[in-house]
Amino acid sequence: DTGVSQDPRHKITKRGQNVTFRCDPISEHNRLYWYRQTLGQGPEFLTYFQNEAQLEKSRLLSDRFSAERPKGSFSTLEIQRTEQGDSAMYLCASIPTRGLPNTEAFFGQGTRLTVV
Q: Which of 77, 91, 113, 115 binds other proteins (CB under 8 A)?
A: 91
- 3 state SS of 72: coil
- The conformation of residue 73, written as its DSSP 8-state character, comes to S
Tell me if 107 contacts other proteins by CB under 8 A.
yes
Q: How far is the CB of 22 from other proteins (least distance, A)?
A: 15
Give dist(CA 55, CA 67) in Å, integer: 11
Q: In this chain, which stretch among 11-19, 64-72, 75-83, 88-96 interacts with other proteins, using CB under 8 A?
A: 88-96
| Dihedral sign (CA 64, 39, 7, 59) | negative
**CA dist., res. 75 & res. 33, Å (int):** 9
Nearest-approach distance from CB 31 to other proteins, in angstroms? 5
Interface map 12-51 toward other proteins (x if CB under 8 A): -------------------x-x-x----xxxxxx--x---
Of the two residues 40 and 70, which places its CB atom closer to other proteins in the complex?
Answer: 40
Q: Is 109 exposed, middle or buried (0-12, 13-18, 19+ CB in 10 A)?
A: middle
Q: Per 3-state DSSP, what percentage of the chain is helix, strand, and coil (rounded to 5)? A: 5, 50, 50
Q: What residues line the site for other proteins (CB under 8 A)?
A: 31, 33, 35, 40-45, 48, 55-56, 89, 91, 93, 95, 97, 99, 101-102, 104-105, 107-110, 112
